[in-house]
Amino acid sequence: MKARAAAGQGTRRYFAYSTILDRDAFVEWRSQHGYDFFELPAGEQGEATGVSLVYDFPSRWWGGRVAGLADTAGARVCGVVFEIAEKDWPVIQHKEGAVTGMCVERAVTVTLSSGAVVEATAFTTNPARKSLEGPVSNRFVEALVRGARSAGLPAAWVDALGKA
Q: What was the pLDDT predicted at 61? A: 86
Q: What was the pLDDT predicted at 8? A: 57
Q: Which residue has the higher pLDDT, 48 or 61?
A: 48
**pLDDT above 70 coverage of the chain, percent:** 95
Q: What was the pLDDT predicted at 5? A: 44
Q: What is the mean pLDDT of residues 102-126?
A: 96
Q: What is the mean pLDDT of residues 68-87?
A: 96
Q: What was the pLDDT predicted at 154? A: 96
Q: What was the pLDDT predicted at 143? A: 92
Instruction: Round to whole Å and give the CA distance between 53 and 25.
Output: 21
* Local confidence band at 25 (pLDDT 50, 70, 90 cut-offs): confident
As a three-state string, the secondary structure of the chain is CCCCCCCCCCEEEEEECCHHHCHHHHHHHHHHCCCCCCCCCCCEEEEEEEEEEEEEEEECCCCEEEEEEEEEEEEEEEEEEEEEEHHHHHHHHHHHCCCCCCEEEEEEEEEECCCCEEEEEEEEECHHHCCCCCCECHHHHHHHHHHHHHCCCCHHHHHHHCCC
Q: What was the pLDDT predicted at 7? A: 55
Instruction: Round to whole Å and give the CA distance between 69 and 122.
Output: 9
| Burial group, residue 148, by CB count within 10 angstroms (0-12, 13-18, 19+) | buried
Q: What is the mean pLDDT of the chain?
A: 92
Q: What is the mean pLDDT of residues 134-153?
A: 94
Q: What is the mean pLDDT of residues 125-139?
A: 94
